[in-house]
A and B are shown apart, each in its own frame.
Chain A
Amino acid sequence: MAANFWISSQYKELLDPEEVDVVHQLDKERGITLDDFKLIKLHMSNYVARLAQNVKVRQRVVATAITYMRRVYVRRSMTEYDPRLVAPTCLYLASKAEESTVQARLLVFYIKKLYSDEKYKYEIKDILDMEMKVLEALNYYLVIYHPYRSLSQFLQDAGLNDVTQLTWGLINDTYKMDLILIHPPHLITLACIYIASVLKDKETTAWFEELRVDMNVVKNIAMEMLDFFDSHRSITDERVNAAMSKLAGR
């Protein structure tokens, strides 16, 4: 749409990893570690995706919602902003911002259907109230540029149309991490293409060389993703539950 990434707030407000990986003081006091923090955000990203599948919105809404949620926790504590409410609220807000509106009552219906746990139980009013707080936390910056945007153009240019599916899936996976807060989206796209081309044994060195991008950054993003995939295997329900249990009850 309007303008472009380079003059957007998203660009101006790209963060250093050190700024993202900060556990809020209030959360620390509850014993939430950096690992817990990341696990909860991962768990909530999955929650958003699951909800989205049920209410049927497109991937871009999911991506925007997760980005909102991750941005909220750069500045706000999980103690004060219960992720189990923030996550569906972000989906609700993102559905409006991405012109695929979902009714609040539909969300509430599926929340109840998916999670019988009392702690997930929130009503329409809770979502609407949290929406205001999320908007405030986001300072009303609602436009998010995503790595999907440049994907097809890159792949076409590189003659890699047959890895579209794989790369798309890899991009989906990047939302399990905080990459979108830290890197310009097109570099995330390139990192995903890089991984896909290595996995599929495609020769892309020349193509990447012709791009005027810092390949070190691209490769670093790719490494970060591969590290994450490795550690992802060791994430068990027990670990997630242990982290979630440190959140405040209601």
Chain B
Amino acid sequence: MAIAAPEQLNLTEAPTWGSRTVDCFEKLEQIGEGTYGQVYMAKEIRTGEIVALKKIRMDNEREGFPITAIREIKILKKLHHENVIDLKEIVTSPGRDKDEQGRPDGNKYKGGIYMVFEYMDHDLTGLADRPGMRFSVPQIKCYMRQLLTGLHYCHVNQVLHRDIKGSNLLIDNKGNLKLADFGLARSFSNDHNANLTNRVITLWYRPPELLLGTTKYGPAVDMWSVGCIFAELLHGKPIFPGKDEPEQLNKIFELCGSPDEVNWPGVSKIPWYNNFKPSRPLKRRLREVFRHFDRHALELLDKMLTLDPSQRISAKDALDAEYFWTDPLPCDPKSLPTYEASHEFQTKKKRQQQRQHEEAAKRQKLHHQQQHGRVPPVQQSGQGHPQMRPGPNPPIHASHPQVAGGPSHHYAKPHGPPAGPGRYPAGGNPSGGYNHPTRGQSGAYGSGRYPPQGRGTQYGSGGMPGGGGPRGVGGPNYPHGAPYGSSGTGRGSNANRNQQQYNWQQ
């Protein structure tokens, strides 16, 4: 506990017990909107410090404070690293009863809960998507090294991030990169014995073992995502833009070859292997397709995008790769160019609105075609499939238009439900380029990170040794309800919000 100097009153210290209220902050601007709530840029009144306030949405919760939020808080409160986003504190806003009528609210809880994060200027996806943006080699090395350093720290501390992707890698104007959004993260034990849900990680960054249905996995899942990001940085666009699970696996197999007992011992025992086995074996073409990459980069990428998770390179070993130790060396984050004054939200919003306006016009024309022509690729699988299914998932038909592209800033990405037709364009980049349907949906602060608890994993029993005391049979098995709820579908499916999947026990 904080202790004041002798004979001095301890007046300035924040109370160590009990949380502060959101009144300590002045909300400057809403900078994000997700299915579960809003994100604000705010200023701490006492210090003037700029922070991001992420509201935890509560009103759809049948089981109180969301377990996903509990996981995120538990994990973030323990991780302290320069490459991991800093959860500064959690603040509450008093219930309205108390506010307006001036009387205590008894046992009623009407307030909001906000996670207070350090403020970051960009995210990697947003930065990469800026028109004309080209990362230099030392810059890519610098970001990659920070990503791996942060991830190594998580893995050493037995935390799996489980949602590594560009929009969850926040970057400030000092060139620092930090892992954010631990809403899917959870702790693991080294023996990999617990059953975890395989419905994690945004589809394009999801490793083959999860797509094949394994429920026992470890840090290697994050390393696959890192490989995807690495390739994307070098290649200029996502390398596995699958629209559903089968297509995702196909894209992976086409580049990395198809798995068999030789290159991946044990793969045939993974639940859905037989459903997804390609009809004819495919050769690994990674080195051929990316032969124009720098030799050391290719070597490292090859090790990251290894099908067999047990042979995939670890974050620690990746940091030792030649790539990071040959010229050009990773640059100092501080030497990186700054991209925009941090607080130009108005400008960004205007630009965004303008773009939306333009695209809305186009969308009117494309509307019908797109309604049926595009299938959102991410996180759809859970919806409507509350139980873990033994087979592969057919594509889910979501006729909702997706938003892609958007402004370069994660905060400013359109997160909310469409206000009406034409407000958000259906096809992000009609002007060409690749579509990036995951983008714009889940900025690390703002995405729908707290869908209902159906996302919960299957817990194995983790009893403690020894006897005595009441011991249960371990945790109950959670049905694999809609691991992402409607978060992945973003704006399109917000109509479903009120009938989200509370598959606690069905």
Contact = CB atoms under 8 A, between A and B. Distances in A.
A binds B: yes
Interface of A: 1-3, 7-9, 12-13, 15, 49, 52-53, 55-62, 71, 74-75, 85, 92-93, 96-97, 99-101, 103-104, 126-133, 135-143, 148, 151-152, 164-165, 167-169, 172
Given A97-B70, A103-B504, A169 B469 contact: yes
Contact of B70 (A2, A96, A136): A96
Contacts of B113: 132, 135
B464 to A, nearest CB: 5
A97 to B, nearest CB: 6
A186 to B, nearest CB: 15
Interface in B25-70: 61, 63-65, 67, 70
B475 A99 contact: yes
B498 interface: no
Nearest to B186: A99
Closest A-B pairs by Cβ, 5 of them = A2-B157, A56-B472, A59-B469, A169-B468, A132-B109
A148 B159 contact: no
21 contacts: A1-B157, A2-B187, A8-B78, A52-B470, A58-B462, A58-B474, A59-B464, A62-B469, A96-B70, A101-B63, A101-B453, A101-B456, A103-B505, A129-B109, A137-B17, A137-B18, A139-B18, A164-B465, A165-B467, A168-B466, A168-B467
A131 B107 CA distance: 10
Nearest to A95: B475
A188 to B, nearest CB: 15
Given A2-B75, A2-B187, A59-B464, A135 B1 contact: no
A103 B502 CA distance: 12
A128 B64 contact: yes
A167 B67 CA distance: 32
A126 B159 CA distance: 33
A208 to B, nearest CB: 21
Contact of B16 (A92, A129, A139, A151): A139
Contacts of B17: 13, 71, 74-75, 137-139
Contacts of B461: 58
A62 B108 CA distance: 26
Given A2-B158, A100-B459, A58 B468 contact: no
B463 interface: yes
A152 B19 CA distance: 36
Contacts of A131: 64-65
Contacts of B77: 9, 140-143
A53 B65 contact: no
B466 A152 contact: yes
Nearest to A80: B104
A2 B73 contact: no
B64 A104 contact: yes
A165 B468 contact: yes
Interface in B471-506: 471-476, 478, 504-505
Contact of B108 (A103, A129, A137, A172): A129
Given A12-B1, A140-B19, A1 B471 contact: no
A140 B73 contact: yes
A93 B65 contact: yes
A3 B74 contact: no
A96 B159 CA distance: 17
B92 interface: yes
B90 interface: yes
Given A2-B157, A168-B467, 6 more contacts: A3-B79, A9-B77, A101-B453, A104-B64, A133-B109, A168-B469
A143 B74 contact: yes
Among A85, A136, A137: residue with most chain B CB under 10 A: A136
Contacts of A165: 466-468
Interface in B442-464: 453, 456, 459, 461-464
A186 B94 CA distance: 38
A116 B39 CA distance: 45
A75 B16 CA distance: 10
Nearest to A52: B470
B69 to A, nearest CB: 9
Contacts of A55: 472
B74 to A, nearest CB: 5
B466 A164 contact: yes
Contacts of B64: 92-93, 104, 127-128, 131-132
B474 A152 contact: no
B469 A140 contact: no
A42 to B, nearest CB: 16
Among B18, B75, B456, B474: residue with most chain A CB under 10 A: B18
A3 B471 CA distance: 26
B468 A168 contact: yes
Contacts of B1: 12-13, 15
Contact of A103 (B63, B456, B459): B63
A64 to B, nearest CB: 11
A157 B16 CA distance: 37
